[in-house]
Amino acid sequence: MCRWIAYRGESIPLESYVTKPVHSLVSQSVHALESTAVFNGDGSGLGWYGEQPEPGLYKELRPAWSDENLQHLCRHLRSHLFFAHVRAATGTSVSRPNCHPFACGKWLFMHNGLVGNWDILRRDIERLIPDDLYTWRGGTTDSEALFLVLMGMGLIGTERREDPVTATARMVETVTGLIDEKGGGAPFRFTAALADGRDLYAFRYSANDSSNSLYYRTLGNTVVVASEPLDQDRGSWIGVPDNTALVARWGEPLELQPFLQDSSEKIEPIPATR
């Protein structure tokens, strides 16, 4: 499975989390601790917000541990909101268009997980992408398809815009239904991040399987979300529970919201486990 980090806070160099920590994302690309794939060497990518409304993107086929350009970029690029991702492919080709993150307008998205029986379900899921958004489809991954379906279900190209959590829940519920109906009840793991240049959202969900790991840490207005802790201070990292949405809107306290579960249930953060 892939590994990723998302940051929102004061503008900082990307190296602060991507390359410098003892268990940075680059370190996780060669030695992940909480993943079924120890190596995540099928490409990497960065997405960041600067002076333009749409995010910048950098994607590379080489493993993150051997990409000197990634080191230089992370040292010099600064951003108040950025994503970084190292990929372990789950059935689709190792290519630059298949590297995360993915962008559509002002929105940025990355994913760790899979749609089981993707070869069987691909056509049905891609049919859910509106025609005017299909031009953004650059690769063949399930992750990018989920993102564009999400965009069309309430964030772009609709008369009535939805809250990102509501739109994401609609997409995930629809895909879960397709998996149950046509995919033989295959696993669906959706641990993902979504941002619009101002606010950050993260999700931990699974159907017919266990969810992939996800943690967060806060300090003032800073929020860092990661597949696994980035340093040895594991006590400062909090696990995101299953079926939960993390909502970090600028200027507001971080929230953990029920995601596709009884909204009356109380969300209890969990400590780092390793």
- The C-alpha atoms of residue 149 and residue 146 are separated, in whole angstroms, by 5
Q: Which is the catalytic residue, given 2, 74, 99, 104?
A: 2
Distance CA(119)–CA(156), nearest Å, equals 27
Is the alpha carbon torsion for 101, 107, 112, 118 positive or negative?
Answer: negative
pLDDT (0 to 100) of residue 131 = 94
* DSSP one-letter code for 155: I
Q: Output the pTM of the full model.
A: 0.92
User: What pLDDT was estimated at residue 263?
Assistant: 47
Within its chain, how far is the Cα of 261 from the centroid? 20
Residue pLDDT tens, the chain, 274 long? 789 999 999 999 999 999 998 898 988 888 788 866 667 778 999 999 999 999 999 999 999 999 999 999 999 999 999 999 998 888 788 999 999 999 999 999 999 999 999 999 999 999 999 999 999 999 999 999 999 999 999 887 655 677 999 999 999 999 999 999 998 989 999 999 999 999 999 999 999 999 999 999 999 899 999 999 998 888 899 999 999 999 999 999 999 999 987 544 556 666 665 4
- The partner residues of 271 in beta bridges, in order of sequence, read 238
In the residue annotation, 2 being an active-site residue is answered as: yes
Is residue 158 within 8 A of residue 142, CB to CB? The reply is no
Instruction: For residue 127, give the CATH number of its domain.
Output: 3.60.20.10
Distances, alpha carbon 98 to alpha carbons 15, 137, 153, in Å: 23, 10, 22
* C-alpha–C-alpha distance, residues 211 and 191, integer Å: 7
Stated as kind and residue range, the H or E segment containing 192 is strand 188-195
Q: Computed from CA positions of residues 149, 155, 160, 164, in that sequence, does the dihedral angle turn out positive or negative?
A: positive
Place of tokens 């040895």: 232
Provide the pLDDT for residue 32.
80
For the chain, what is the domain count? 1
Distances from the Cα of 215 to the Cαs of 191, 229, 246, in angstroms? Answer: 11, 7, 10
The domain in which residue 13 lies consists of 3-271
How confident is the model at residue 88, as a pLDDT?
Answer: 86
